[in-house]
Structure formats: structure tokens, C-alpha cells
């Protein structure tokens, strides 16, 4: 991840007014936003990418707080991303609703 993107993601994570979500919630949002960030180009893809950075870090932080290793948390994210990729490609309504909810729950990327 380029340094500027990492810096943005860390700032977003630190600036959140809410406590970190539960691991499963952060993991699901990381998976669906990572999957969506790989669809095409444009503003929606960029928004999903920014959101994926936030949720990935939130999931890693929640994993750490729960005693999970970084490698286990990354493997969980990879599985969630792959599952959501298939669901989004199949135009699964629940997956698209999950994406909308996660995008809405992502802290703003600018002030």
C-alpha cells in the first residue's frame, strides 16, 4: 500500500468518534468493500477503495484486540473478500445491501 494511502487510512481509523466495531462486523465490511473496490473505475470504485482501507485496518485492530494473529486476520479478510466478490458478481441483493451499509458507516475521508 502506498505511504499516502496508509497515512489516510490510519488517520481515518484514529479520527473515528465511535469505538471499533466487533471483529465480525469489521471483517464483513472489509470483505465487501475490498470486493467492490475491484469493480471497474470511477468515483464509486474509489469510494469503495477508501472504505476498504478503513475497514481492513479496523478488522486488523479488532483482531489484535481479540488475540488473533495478523496472518489469521488477513486470511479471514481474503476469504470474506472472495465470498463477497462472488456474491456481488451474482448481483446478490443482500451483498449489495451490506456494501451500502458499510460505505455509509465509513468515516468521511476529508474534513
Average of per-residue pLDDT across 66-95: 96
Mean pLDDT along residues 81-87:
96
The residues, any chain, with a CB within 8 Å of residue 21's CB and separated by 6 or more, are 29, 58, 62, 105
Take residue 11 and report the three cell numbers written for it. 488517520
Alpha carbon distances (Å) from 66 to 8, 19, 111: 24, 14, 31
Residue with cell 472472495: 82
- Report the alpha-carbon distance of residue 36 to residue 17 in Å, rounded: 25
pLDDT at res. 18 = 63
Asked whether the predicted pLDDT for residue 19 surpasses 60, the reply is yes
Assigned C-alpha cell, 73: 486476520
Q: What is the pLDDT of residues 26-46, one digit of tens each?
A: 999 999 999 999 887 777 888
Amino acid at each position: 500500500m502506498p505511504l499516502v494511502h496508509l497515512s489516510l487510512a490510519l488517520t481515518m481509523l484514529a479520527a473515528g468518534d465511535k469505538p471499533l466495531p466487533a471483529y465480525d462486523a469489521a471483517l464483513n465490511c472489509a470483505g465487501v468493500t475490498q470486493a467492490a473496490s475491484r469493480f471497474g473505475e470511477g468515483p464509486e470504485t474509489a469510494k469503495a477503495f477508501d472504505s476498504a482501507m478503513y475497514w481492513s485496518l479496523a478488522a486488523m485492530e479488532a483482531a489484535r484486540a481479540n488475540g488473533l494473529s495478523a496472518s489469521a486476520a488477513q486470511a479471514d479478510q481474503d476469504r470474506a473478500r472472495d465470498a463477497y466478490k462472488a456474491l456481488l458478481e451474482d448481483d446478490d441483493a443482500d451483498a449489495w445491501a451490506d456494501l451500502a451499509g458499510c460505505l455509509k458507516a465509513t468515516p468521511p475521508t476529508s474534513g
